[in-house]
Amino acid sequence: MPGLLIVFLVSVVLSLALVLLARATHRHHNIRGAMDVETAYVTSICTLYGIFLAFMIFTVWSRYDQARINTVIEANTVAEIFHLAGGLQEPMRTEWKALSLDYARSVIAEEWRTMRRGRPSPDTEGIVHHMWSLANRTTEAHDDVLRDHLLTSYTELTDHRRTRLLWSATGLSEYAYVVLFLGALITVGMSAIFIVEDFRTHFLKAAALAAMIGIMLATVWVLGHPFRGAVGLEPTPFVEVIERLD
């Protein structure tokens, strides 16, 4: 993917700059016995940073998976409303079925696009309000039980929609990204500051570490925004629901 390639190249260039800077100024920070202490320093720093990075990846991966599950449940709730409407009297039956399909189509065509910018779709919002108005008009005595079930499903639908919109507009805190970036800089810098090999080996060591950390940081960013980017979630569950119901 182009994004990962850019991250890889930037990481390699950054590591090269750090290696050149370290070799150009090595007389000022030359450490006697560096061979003995390098392993301890670098291992300690890499371990601490690796633990924090692994925790962040686990956090965003869980968030990504929860966003996927929430989307599936929301789409299934649309199908549930459609099927419950089958027990209503006309014209409520037709109106509820039409609204449920319109909701799914609006999410696919409009809200998924606006959601990538962290905003809800006005059209989808209008359909949600129309559903609420229709629920208040479904007052026939023989429809009371179905109306209660429809209200419950409607509440679940709006809850899952709000959760989806919230996750599309938020991510990890800026503090977490600052810590991740500074930790990456320190870790790669420590691998570059100890000059104990020839230039090629020195550069390859720092570049490999920087590239790996860069790819992991890109993974944290992408998974932290589950509805954006190259691996962003797609409205596939809604497409499948429309295909089944239509």
Contact by Cβ (8 Å): 230, 66:
no
**Closest CA relative to residue 80, chosen from 112, 64, 103:** 103
Task: Convert 144-165 to b/e letters by CB count within 10 Å (16 or more is b).
Answer: eebbeebeebbebbeebbebbb
pLDDT tens-digit series, residues 76-89: 999 999 998 888 88
Q: What is the mean pLDDT of the chain?
A: 81
Give the three-class secondary structure for 239.
Answer: helix
- Give the DSSP H/E element, type plus range, for residue 48: helix 34-85
pLDDT band at 28 (very low <50, low <70, confident <90, very high): very low
Of 12-16, 49-53, 87-91, the one with minimum mean pLDDT is 12-16
pLDDT band at 7 (very low <50, low <70, confident <90, very high): low
pLDDT tens-digit series, residues 133-178: 888 876 654 567 777 888 889 999 999 999 999 988 887 888 888 8
Q: Which residue has the tokens 């449920």?
A: 100
**Could you tell me the CA-to-CA distances from 241 to 77, 101, 109, 203 in Å, in that order?**
10, 9, 14, 53
Contact by Cβ (8 Å): 218, 53:
no
- Give one DSSP letter per residue of 136-152, joined into a string: HH---GGGHHHHHHHHH
- The pLDDT value recorded for residue 177 is 86
- The pLDDT value recorded for residue 231 is 80
pLDDT exceeds cutoff 50 at 32: no
**Closest CA relative to residue 239, chosen from 88, 72, 87:** 72
For 146, phi then psi, to 5°, come to -65, -40
What does the block give as tokens for 36?
């003995």
Distance separating alpha carbons of residues 63 and 34, to the nearest angstrom: 42
- The pLDDT value recorded for residue 4 is 52
Domain coordinates in residue numbering, the chain:
2-30+172-223, 61-171+231-245
Look up the pTM and report it. Answer: 0.77
**Could you tell me the CA-to-CA distances from 153 to 84, 91, 236 in Å, in that order?**
9, 20, 20
- Burial-class residue 47 by CB neighbours within 10 Å (0-12, 13-18, 19+): exposed
Contact by Cβ (8 Å): 203, 21:
no
Distance separating alpha carbons of residues 243 and 228, to the nearest angstrom: 25
